[in-house]
Structure 1
């Protein structure tokens, strides 16, 4: 149920310069979705009465994501006054005047922060009756973080909280404190309405610090509680690409373990990457070097990998997909794909079908039980059930202006090294000879072939490749009258100018 006494403010106005990227920091992806989307999803699960996101830099791109995730949320633009204090001040002004509950402030760059931790913070704040409650963490290297200052036993979590000092404003003794401000706060809205307008810009960064509200509360005699988190990675912010990779590794480890406990075999968690939106049924096996991306779904008993990347794919029950790169494709139950297959968007492989070694497909529907075993390109094609496409087939779908489709019927047998010049249709039960270029429709039950007599130019090797190994072998064959040579080169001890020995004695 909606918590009518809770409002959430998400701080998403930072520029993120340390990312050194044209992409806004909060839109860099983590487990397949933008960093900020993780935070928005957590906020959505808390089901607050109001959620306000404060934006500034690259605001249009951010707003499009925010609106998709939280269509009922409020978006506030931060003005030219810098600082988290000003951002929260503007967000509070956007709340209805009649709202009298608690305000949870979280950062848009803390994607690991979960509902359980935030729910615990809200519960503790309301139990204690404090004016403010915030999260902290203990770090071996606290560089860049604000420090929690306590009136007694500073830095060990035992004393009363007096204030928070930002890293740039801290003295050497304060920098030695290992308890850091996690940037997650819960305030009563009345206190914020009273104190936020009193914040100043008198600090090293010339910003309105939200952390100064803590000191103002303490000076007024109000209680401020700090709730340390058990694992510091829960509140770790992402400011650069190194921190992004660290968060990605941690989140991936959590995702992999979650699926392992749900009945998925992951042989090598260190080399297996799974996006948050991907799903699996029990008894799926993921082999080393496998990446499951986007909204991929994999059914019971399927084996995927090694060295396979699936993006937004659907894999049927019992299918085997190895050393394959596939995007927006459907692989039927019991089907086999790879190794070294490339499935481009809108590839649909029917149940018990096969896309084999060094095969590329695109916009291709391959019927149940049909096979494209090896060394082929199938683009813009519809292949019926029970059909076999011979090695080296090319579906020539593009004439330089438009792309056209090829239709191959059911139970067709295509010879090796065929080229289909689209648009063309091959009827049910038809056959084609090796090396055929099919430029016109083939009726059902017909054999298609290109009739061209074979020419043998006798003596060509002796004339044009005199003295070569081929010439020596040809002369030996002619002298012995044995016909084509069986071996590529003579065994040790046999003079190639001598009569060729019997194939039975040499072997093949």
Structure 2
């Protein structure tokens, strides 16, 4: 089997993005553009991958880690110069070398595989990946002779009027015989409108030497889309989103309104789950079978097991076990662990807390830094008071306990199994199992006080007017 190598060009800053973030690191559906390219290349079982970095080199390395080797293009002198930086790592290798740009996030492993196979079948030293578009402005044009053989690739700024009218364009992806590539790179010049060393000029070197240059036309132009500004970034994101949504629907997920459903590329969803409109699923979220994710919910880096219902809520870095439900308008913050059959009602916030099986936290409640057992009822307006201004403190509530509405549970405190906290209590001490804690002031009624209150006079006048 012929060895396969790849060079990813990721050295450009991307000034047209007008961003502090380097171009190839801009995310598309939850993953940096250059990461998309690397991920698809990796699926072709490569022998070596080299990424050419320049601007933001450390940030690119931080994003891609040790999945690739790196070379530095310290000075931006064109694509040919960029590829030449990888010579030390690849010059002695025999095989095929794929070259792709780090700002083309829509390219697929299948297209790369087809390019490799076409290149081998033609016995070519170079094969260009091309596509047809009715709007070729800005792309290099593929110039063929009367027999359809590739003669050269002409950049937009160097094209004649006739060449500019050609609709077959260079996608910026190539497959080369590795050693022939580096041989030709040492022969190209920078006498062009940009004053740069164009990688495309190696094609003329090969032609002069009588070597075969081939071109493989990809089926969908949109897959070749390069991202140079925010408009193109939005367009690429839209195409990727459609691709992701279609994959999930084909796998048995119902998307009520795909056009308004935003799912990152690494999200996993089980069959017979229903996703309503306006939902955002981000990061490495995993959703099980038979779930319902209600409109306008957002779930980030979280795990939802089977038969979970989320209604208009936000979940981040949390776990919801099977048959639990939440919302509307509730928030699970990091390290929230919601047990089987748990009910989290409306306007509830849970942070760094474990809630046991079948416990109910109905509404208007904050649970932070706490462990709640099973079959507990937490009344409306309860606050687990976990922060003293310096440190966070933990609270434990035992199984089958009852916490009345409007209670303040001030940690650190332990409430035993089958304990009862009376409504309106402020709990600062432990409550033993089967005990009831009441911590509130005694009620005092002031006889006839209303009549002395100024508002009473206005109310009396209004009452008389209405008679």
TM-score band w.r.t. shorter chain: over 0.9
Kindly indicate whether residue 377 of structure 2 is the aligned counterpart of residue 379 of structure 1. Answer: no
How many angstroms apart in 2 are the aligned matches of 1:472 and 1:280? 61
**Maintained 8 Å contact 1:359/1:374:** yes
Q: Which residue of 1 aligns with 2:123?
A: 129
Aligned-partner SS, 2:97 = strand
Q: Please give the alpha-carbon distance, in whole angstroms, between the structure 1 residues aligned to 2:407 and 2:218.
A: 65
One of 339, 347, 355 as aligned partner of 1:350 = 339
Task: Answer with 252-261 or 136-145: which moved more.
Answer: 136-145
Aligned counterpart, 1:16: 14
Partner Cα separation in structure 2 for residue 302 and residue 79 of structure 1: 51
Secondary structure of the structure 1 residue equivalent to 2:457: coil
Equivalent residue for 2:136? Answer: 142
SS of the aligned residue for 1:183 comes to strand
Match of 1:259 in 2: 248
Partner of 1:468: 458
Matches of 1:39 and 1:272, distance apart in 2: 24
**SS at 1:136 equivalent:** strand
- Aligned-pair CA distance for 1:470: 7.1
Aligned counterpart for 1:216 among listed residues 205, 211, 214: 205
Unmatched 5+ stretches in structure 1: 153-157, 477-494, 498-508
Cα distance, 1:350 vs structure 2: 0.5
**Equivalent residue for 2:286?**
297
SS at match of 1:467: helix
Contact 1:322 1:337 survives alignment (8 Å): yes
Cα distance change of structure 1 residues 174 and 470 upon mapping to structure 2, 3 Å threshold: farther
Q: CA deviation at 1:46?
A: 1.2
Q: Could you tell me which residue of structure 1 aligns to residue 35 of structure 2?
A: 37
Alpha-carbon contact 1:462-1:471 (below 8 Å) kept: no
Is the 1:316–1:331 Cα contact (8 Å) retained in structure 2?
A: yes
What does the per-residue CA deviation read over 1:80-103, in whole Å, with 9 as the maximum and x for residues that have no partner? 261110111221332152x22221
- Listed one character per residue, the Cα deviations across residues 48-80 of structure 1 (whole Å, up to 9, x for unaligned) are 222111111110111122334x1xx32111142
| Matches of 1:317 and 1:89, distance apart in 2 | 52
Distance 1:392 1:300, change over 3 A: same
Displacement of 1:275 after TM fit? 1.4
Q: Normalising by structure 1, report the TM-score.
A: 0.88
1:8 to partner: Cα distance? 1.0
Task: After TM superposition, list the pairs within 5 Å mapping 1:321-340 onto structure 2.
Answer: 321-340=310-329
Q: How does 1:190-229 map to 2 (within 5 A)?
A: 190-229=179-218
Secondary structure class of the residue paired with 1:54? strand
Equivalents in 1 of 2:439, 2:178: separation in Å?
83
- For the Cα contact (< 8 Å) 1:142–1:180, is it kept in 2? yes
Give the counterpart of 2:85 among 81, 84, 90.
Answer: 90
Q: Which structure's CA Rg is the greater one?
A: 1
Which residue among 43, 46, 64 is the counterpart of 2:44? 46
Query: How do 1:385-404 residues align onto structure 2 when only pairs under 5 Å count?
Result: 385-404=374-393
Q: Using the alignment, how far apart are the partners of 1:263 and 1:470 within structure 2? A: 66
Give the CA deviation at 1:432. 1.6
Q: CA deviation at 1:315?
A: 0.9
2:253 and 2:270 in contact (8 A); partners too: yes
CA-to-partner distance for each residue in 1:290-323, whole Å, 9 max, x for gaps?
1111111111111111111111111121111110
Which residue in the other structure is 1:59 paired with?
57
Residue 262 of structure 2 contacts residue 279 of structure 2 at CA under 8 Å; is this kept in 1?
yes
- 1:443 aligned partner: 432
SS in 2 for 1:48: coil
Inter-CA distance 470–106: structure 2 relative to 1 (3 Å threshold): farther
Q: Is the 8 A contact 1:143 1:167 kept in 2?
A: yes
Q: Is the 8 A contact 2:90 2:178 kept in 1?
A: no
User: Does the aligned pair in 2 maintain the 1:398–1:404 contact within 8 Å?
Assistant: yes
CA contact (8 A) 1:465 1:471 kept: no
Query: Secondary structure of 1:363's partner?
Result: strand
User: Conserved in 1, the CA contact under 8 Å of 2:130 and 2:215?
Assistant: yes
1:359 is paired with a residue whose SS is: strand
Q: Within 2, Cα distance between the matches of 1:414 and 1:74?
A: 58
User: Are positions 1:245 and 2:245 aligned together?
Assistant: no
Aligned residue pair count: 466
> 2:108 matched to 1:114?
yes
In the TM superposition, what is the alpha-carbon distance from 1:471 to its structure 2 partner? Answer: 7.4
Question: Structure 2: which 5+ residue stretches go unaligned?
Answer: none
- 1:11 CA drift (Å): 0.8
> What TM-score, normalized to structure 2?
0.96
